[in-house]
């Protein structure tokens, strides 16, 4: 579910931050020049500008990226990274780049977008590059699906392992509202929503202007009923939603009707939703495990995370080891139109590996793509330590991803719509069933 974040779609003229790299030796010999050369390395050769479209806004994104760039200075001093900050818009800006023939040399994206770009020839196939073989040799066990796509091709270098979503909550607000934790069932969560609303809080902040986060919330409910998650909508070839998916839709609607989500949730972006949570106006927040760093910074020991509730306590206990994240390709991809494609591939692989290195050694995240042979040096947030000590050792299974773009889009559209008053579970199931019948016939 890579990710994640913010900034309004209207900011199409994104601010570009140039990070200049000083020449200090190194072993790269690619002296070709891009049209955007801005200077020369110490040995007199022109620097190669590589434009990178990447997330760069918080502890979990900016610092790993900056670290990777600093390490790149040592390895490839003749390369100059031009950062184009990604916006949290479901990759719409990136798709605009593709439609207008203005692709950056390297860009971050997810599997659904990569499938579209593969058809439109906007992503370089990395299969035969030596950097890909090297990356495979360093990949952490069990993460093959993060690098190699279901069609057998490699489209991107991932920097994370299999990520998943969590429900964060403010312990102080819960205590003031008289809510017992852990919340184990959907009914308990609905009751908590009513208590929090009565106490003047937004029960759960969600940036539902982005469809992926409503899909992620729905995935959490589905996974409590079906450990394989969305993958069953493709592998099983159902022409109508299986019971587990209907149950999850009913639960999501029940929570909406209980007031769990703000009435303007589908018009709320990440900045607005996170601000509600950090300021103490919202009691809960839904996001991936990467949110741990920002929430810890803003709320300290007031914040913790909870498992997604289930239909009953027995199901909750038996399904806690079913992880709602699925391994699918994503990470740093390269544009075939790059004037410095060979260099861009090397840089993309290097950035992904160093990004992982920072997340493991400094941020203490065990959810990284490649093996890191350096020790952790940073202070690990307690919530991340819970994941390392409590969740990962007890994982029973990870969900599987749906690769069919039409089915995925149908889920995205209708999980967003189900947060709107008047949109019924029947409309949800009818809309998704119509796509399933067409795609799985």
Q: What is the pTM of this model?
A: 0.82
CA distance 294 to 160: 18
CA distance 301 to 121: 47
Beta strands 106-109; 282-288: pairing state: unpaired
Tokens 């089915």 correspond to what residue?
A: 407
Per-residue pLDDT, 21:
28
DSSP lists the bridge partners of residue 261 as 204
Per-residue pLDDT, 87:
86
3-state SS, residue 10: coil
Reading the block at residue 292, the tokens are: 């741990």
Per-residue pLDDT, 35:
40
Q: Calculate the alpha carbon distances from 270 to 9, 20, 297, 389 in Å.
A: 11, 30, 17, 29
pLDDT tens, per residue, the chain with 441 residues: 444 433 333 332 332 333 332 222 333 333 333 444 555 655 667 899 999 999 998 777 899 999 999 999 999 999 999 999 998 787 889 999 999 999 999 999 999 899 999 999 999 999 999 999 999 999 999 899 999 999 999 999 999 999 999 999 999 999 999 999 999 999 999 999 999 999 999 999 999 999 999 999 999 999 999 999 999 999 889 999 999 999 999 999 999 999 999 999 999 999 999 999 999 999 999 999 999 999 999 999 999 999 999 999 999 999 999 999 988 999 999 999 999 999 999 999 999 999 999 999 999 999 999 999 999 998 899 999 999 999 999 999 999 989 898 999 999 999 999 999 999 999 999 999 999 999 999
Count of Cβ atoms closer than 10 Å to residue 231 Cβ: 17
* Residue of 218, 181, 224 whose CA lies nearest to 319: 224
DSSP lists the bridge partners of residue 84 as 16, 53
Per-residue pLDDT, 23:
29
Describe the strand order of the beta sheet including 79-85 as a list of residue ranges.
Answer: 16-19, 79-85, 48-54, 106-109, 331-334
3-state SS, residue 152: coil
Beta strands in 57-121 (DSSP E): 79-85, 106-109
Per-residue pLDDT, 41:
58
Domains located in the chain, CATH noted:
48-162+328-372 (3.40.190.10), 165-324+400-440 (3.40.190.10)
Buried b (16+ CB within 10 A) or exposed e, 298-335: ebeebbbbbbbbbbeeebbeebbebbbbbbbbbbbbbb
């Amino acid at each position: 579910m890579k990710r994640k974040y913010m900034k309004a779609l209207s900011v199409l003229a994104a601010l570009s931050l140039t990070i200049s790299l000083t020449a200090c030796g190194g072993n790269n010999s690619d002296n070709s020049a891009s049209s955007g050369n801005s200077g020369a390395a110490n040995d007199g050769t022109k620097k190669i500008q590589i434009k990178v479209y990447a997330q760069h806004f918080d502890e979990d994104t900016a610092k790993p990226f900056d670290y990777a760039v600093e390490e790149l200075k040592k390895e490839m001093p003749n390369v100059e990274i031009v950062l184009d900050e990604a916006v949290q818009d479901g990759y719409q800006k990136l798709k605009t780049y593709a439609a207008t023939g203005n692709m950056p040399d390297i860009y971050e994206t997810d599997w659904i977008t990569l499938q579209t770009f593969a058809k439109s020839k906007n992503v370089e196939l990395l299969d035969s590059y030596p950097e890909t073989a090297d990356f495979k040799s360093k990949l952490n066990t069990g993460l093959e699906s993060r690098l190699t796509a279901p069609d057998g091709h490699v489209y991107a270098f991932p920097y994370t392992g299999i990520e998943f979503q969590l429900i964060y909550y403010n312990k102080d607000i819960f205590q003031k509202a008289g809510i017992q934790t852990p919340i184990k069932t959907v009914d308990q969560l609905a009751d908590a929503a009513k208590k929090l609303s009565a106490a003047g809080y937004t029960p759960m902040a969600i940036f539902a202007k982005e469809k992926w986060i409503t899909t992620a919330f729905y995935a959490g409910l589905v996974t409590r009923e079906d450990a394989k998650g969305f993958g069953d909508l493709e592998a099983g070839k159902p022409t109508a939603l299986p019971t587990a998916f209907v149950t999850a839709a009913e639960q999501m609607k029940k929570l909406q009707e209980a007031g769990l989500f703000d009435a303007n949730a589908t018009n709320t972006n990440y900045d607005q939703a996170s601000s509600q949570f950090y300021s103490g106006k919202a009691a809960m927040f839904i996001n991936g495990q990467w949110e741990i760093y920002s929430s810890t910074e803003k709320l300290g020991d007031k914040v913790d995370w909870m498992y997604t509730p289930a239909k009953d306590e027995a199901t909750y206990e038996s399904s806690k080891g079913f992880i709602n994240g699925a391994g699918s390709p994503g990470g740093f991809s390269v544009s075939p139109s790059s004037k410095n494609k060979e260099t861009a591939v090397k840089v993309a692989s290097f950035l992904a590996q160093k990004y992982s290195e920072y997340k493991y050694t400094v941020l203490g995240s065990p959810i990284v793509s490649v093996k890191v042979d350096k020790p952790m040096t940073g202070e690990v947030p307690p919530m991340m330590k819970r994941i390392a000590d409590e969740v990962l050792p007890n994982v029973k299974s990870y969900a599987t991803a749906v690769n069919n773009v039409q089915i995925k889009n149908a889920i995205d559209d209708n999980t967003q719509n189900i947060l709107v008053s008047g949109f019924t579970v029947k409309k949800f199931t009818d809309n998704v069933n119509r796509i399933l019948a067409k795609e799985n016939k």
